[in-house]
Amino acid sequence: MMTGTPAHAVQSQPPGEEETWELRLYVAGQTPKSITAFQNLKKICEEHLAGRYRIEVIDLMEHPQLAAGDQIIAIPTLVRKLPSPLRKIVGDLRNTERALVGLNLRPTEPSQ
Amino acid sequence: MPKTVNGKNGRSLPKAPTGIQGLDEITGGGLPRGRASLFCGSAGCGKTLFSMEFLVRGAMQYDEPGLFVAFEETPEELTQNVRSLGFDLNRLVAEKKLLVDFVRVERSEIEETGDYDLEGLFIRLGHAIDSIGAKRVVLDTIETLFSGLSNLAILRAELRRLFRWLKDKGVTAIITAERGDGTLTRHGLEEYVSDCVILLDHRVIDEVSTRRLRVVKYRGSTHGTNEYPFLIDGDGISVLPITSVGLQHVASNERIPSGIPRLDAMLGNEGYYRGSTALVSGTAGSGKSSIAAHFAHASCQRGERCLYLAFEESPSQIVRNMRSIGVDLEPWVRKGLLRFHATRASMYGLEMHLATFHKLVQEFQPRVFIIDPINNLAFASNRKDTSAMLTRLIDFLKMQGITALMTSMTSPESQETSDADISSLVDTWLLLRDIELSGERNRAMYVLKSRGMAHSNQIREFLLTDRGIDLTDVYLGAEGVLTGSARLSQEAREREEDLRRQQLLDGKQRELARKTEALEARITALRKEFEAEAEEARRVIGEEKAREEITRRNRERMGASRRADAGIDAGERPARPRTVQEGRR
């Protein structure tokens, strides 16, 4: 983790150029929470990962069998598939600061 | 706690039988159908196994597919863990009768931001339930969510919704939860799941572990309220609800011999009642096992199966020892009429023993049940527990109409008191005593009590001979009860005394006879003498009479001659004085 892996590189220099972020947003139907979450996610990605991200929205109402794969319990859940390690952010991403920390788009410690 | 008594007309709360031995009896038919039940307890108390058995039995016996949602163990781990109970999860999964869904909640991976709900879990559950048509659901342990998610307000609201949703789904559910400090569950789940709450407990007392179960609450149904021991073994879980049996057993009037004729005589001439419980207590080496062996022998002779639980000796040792007193048990073992079950009492806790007894009885169907001795069971736990366990055991045996004989070793100081706890449970109590007298120790036996029969109040000396047990009368004399050689010597003394008296009597009789004889002899002699004298007297009298006659005749002749011849008469007169003179000379 502490070696120069791509993930680490992203962590140290926020708007990195190395790879495409693969994000998966799990929702259950077009609920207000799902819509809010998608909108918030879109905004964060545009601001921090412009052109380097791909969002896949999975509606569990339609594909309930997919819930098990990523161990989805809460809705909405954002899963960062890439870069690894896998991260999960639960909620409608209303709190952007926390979302950024969760996505490792903002260093948690100032020293880094 | 509502305890509505349901009518017997089928309108009572519908229940889903668990298939777990004993649990259905306690809960009056199983868990509330279509509702959620809470199983709570500390770590390692058997929550997971209980709920898994509920599903497995449901799938196998009641054709109700089950879903196991594991929050803590992976399906592989679970499959492995329950294999020891004889459950083959893989087969059930392949037959689509069981589904194990592993829900992993990893706090370190999860960041929370903003509003959310647990719809994902609902969808997963719904999908899993629908995929196999599950009628039973287990959530083990849903509390894991509390460690994975931090928003308690959302979590609680969602859990409440979840349990309602499960109810709407119509599935019978078990929710497991860890026991909290002073509360039933750590996170107060009992607030949400309140139709049926079952508390599991795993206590270690005196290094022996005991598992117990208690139905804390069962809305809309009566239930047993006690703590019931349960055990987990190769056949799954068995709960022992025997205390709920009560005293409803039918008493038999049939009598069965004890195997010792003289003992039968003491017990109203017929022996024990069938289905009764006899206790033989006594100090070490007083012959308890021998009485038990006779009873076993007698029951096998009648062709009745006998289960002999030995806690002190191995079966072969018992067979050998009993052969020495003329009781050969080996043929019965070979014929399958007699089964020994020998274990060290300290091997398991009381509950395990009780469960083993149950299992053996159900398997072997004996008519006679022997425990030799019960004390060792007492060592396995404290006295209160033993007494409770024996109560349950005796009730159980009585229900089955099995005649039981238990031996109990007492200490010499407290021959009657030490068994007081169980004495009220037994119907017949035989007490074996050691009588120490003049440098030896002998056995004596008496019937302390025997319900429902006119039993003897006599103390009998108890002899172990090579032809079995022999009961003889004891010597009761001025010196008290005498047994053994004291009795023998006393008897010898008495015999001697008798002999002496007899001899004396004989002597007297002989003397009398002799005296009689002597008397007779004397009488005879006297009579002879008398006869001789009488004869003499008669002879003398005869002679006198003859002489007188002659004299009279002479005088007549003289007189006649004087009258007829006066001359002669005058001349003759001087002749007479001459005669007188001659007599004087």
pLDDT tens per residue, range B71-86 = 988 889 889 888 888 8
Amino acid B11: pLDDT:
55
Any domain includes A92: yes
Amino acid B3: pLDDT:
39
Same domain, B457 and B493: no
Quick check: B388 and B326 in contact, CB under 8 A? no
Same domain, B433 and B521: no
Same domain, B331 and B259: yes
What are the pLDDT tens digits along chain A (112 aa)?
A: 343 333 333 343 444 456 788 899 999 888 888 888 899 888 888 888 888 888 899 999 888 888 888 888 888 999 988 887 888 888 888 888 888 877 777 655 444 3
Q: What is the mean pLDDT of residues B267-279?
A: 88
pLDDT for B75-132, tens place per residue? 898 898 888 888 888 999 999 999 998 988 888 778 888 888 899 899 999 999 999 9
- pLDDT band of residue B564 (cuts 50, 70, 90) is low
Task: State the pTM of this model.
Answer: 0.64
How far, in Å, CA of B19 to CA of B584, rounded? 155
CATH number at residue A75: 3.40.30.10
> How many domains in chain B?
3
Amino acid B4: pLDDT:
41
Same domain, B206 and B80: yes
Domain coverage including residue A45: 20-102
Task: For residue B33, give how far its alpha carbon lies from the nearest alpha carbon of chain A (Å).
Answer: 26
Pairing of strands B227-233, B208-218: antiparallel
Any domain includes B85: yes
Any domain includes B480: no
ipTM entry: 0.80
Do B114 and A73 make contact, defined as CB atoms within 8 angstroms?
Answer: no
Q: Is the pLDDT of residue B505 over 90?
A: yes
Highest mean pLDDT (candidates B6-20, B31-45, B430-444): B31-45
Same domain, B172 and B269: no
Any domain includes A8: no
Q: Is the pLDDT of residue B523 over 90?
A: yes
CATH number at residue B61: 3.40.50.300
Task: For residue B39, give how far its alpha carbon lies from the nearest alpha carbon of chain A (Å).
Answer: 23
User: Long-range contact list for B92-98, CB < 8 A, 24+ apart?
Assistant: B92/B56, B92/B59, B92/B60, B96/B65, B96/B132, B97/B59, B97/B60, B97/B65, B97/B66, B97/B132, B98/B55, B98/B56, B98/B59, B98/B65, B98/B66, B98/B67, B98/B68, B98/B132
Do A73 and B105 make contact, defined as CB atoms within 8 angstroms?
Answer: yes
Amino acid B537: pLDDT:
93
Same domain, B35 and B76: yes
Q: What is the mean pLDDT of residues B497-526?
A: 93
pLDDT for B377-410, tens place per residue? 765 555 566 777 777 788 888 888 899 998 888 7
Amino acid A9: pLDDT:
36
Task: For residue B234, give how far its alpha carbon lies from the nearest alpha carbon of chain A (Å).
Answer: 33
Of A60, A86, A89, the CB nearest to B113: A89
Instruction: Report the candidate in B453, B377, B361 with the shortest Cα–Cα distance to residue B409.
Output: B377
pLDDT higher at B72 or B580: B72
Any domain includes B66: yes
Same domain, B508 and B456: no
| Amino acid residing at B542 | G
Quick check: B16 and B174 in contact, CB under 8 A? no
Amino acid B382: pLDDT:
59
pLDDT for B278-294, tens place per residue? 988 888 778 888 899 99
Among residues of chain B, what percentage have pLDDT more than 70?
86
The residue of chain B nearest to residue A86, with distances taken between CA atoms, is: B109
Same domain, B457 and B494: no
Do B115 and A91 make contact, defined as CB atoms within 8 angstroms?
Answer: yes
Any domain includes A4: no
pLDDT higher at B481 or B257: B257
pLDDT for B320-378, tens place per residue? 988 888 889 899 999 999 999 888 776 666 767 777 888 788 888 999 999 888 877 76
Amino acid A65: pLDDT:
86
- pLDDT band of residue B165 (cuts 50, 70, 90) is very high
The residue of chain B nearest to residue A29, with distances taken between CA atoms, is: B119
Any domain includes B187: yes
Amino acid B413: pLDDT:
61
Any chain A CB within 8 A of the CB of B115? yes
Q: Helix, strand or coil for residue B465?
A: strand
Among residues of chain B, what percentage have pLDDT more than 90?
25
Q: What is the mean pLDDT of residues B428-449?
A: 82
Q: What is the mean pLDDT of residues B289-303?
A: 90
Q: What is the mean pLDDT of residues B256-278?
A: 88
Same domain, B344 and B402: yes
Q: What is the mean pLDDT of residues B422-446?
A: 81
Any domain includes B282: yes
| Alpha-carbon torsion angle B241, B242, B248, B252, nearest 10 | 150
Any domain includes B6: no
Task: For residue A64, give how far its alpha carbon lies from the nearest alpha carbon of chain B (Å).
Answer: 6
Q: Helix, strand or coil for residue B162?
A: helix
Pairing of strands B460-465, B468-473: antiparallel
Size of interface A-B (CB pairs under 8 A): 97
Any domain includes A61: yes
> How many domains in chain A?
1
The residue from B239, B269, B303 where one domain ends is B239
Which residues 6+ apart lie within 8 Å of A57 measured at CB? A24, A25, A27, A38
Task: For residue A52, give how far its alpha carbon lies from the nearest alpha carbon of chain B (Å).
Answer: 22
Any chain B CB within 8 A of the CB of A35? no
Of B104, B114, B127, the CB nearest to A64: B127
Any domain includes B328: yes
Any domain includes A42: yes
Q: Is the pLDDT of residue B69 over 60?
A: yes
Amino acid B24: pLDDT:
86
Same domain, B496 and B538: yes
Any domain includes A26: yes
Residues of B in contact with A90 (CB under 8 A): 110-113, 116, 149
Q: Is the pLDDT of residue B236 over 50?
A: yes
Q: Is the pLDDT of residue B276 over 70?
A: yes
Any domain includes A107: no
Any domain includes B210: yes
Domain coverage including residue B435: 255-473
Any domain includes A13: no
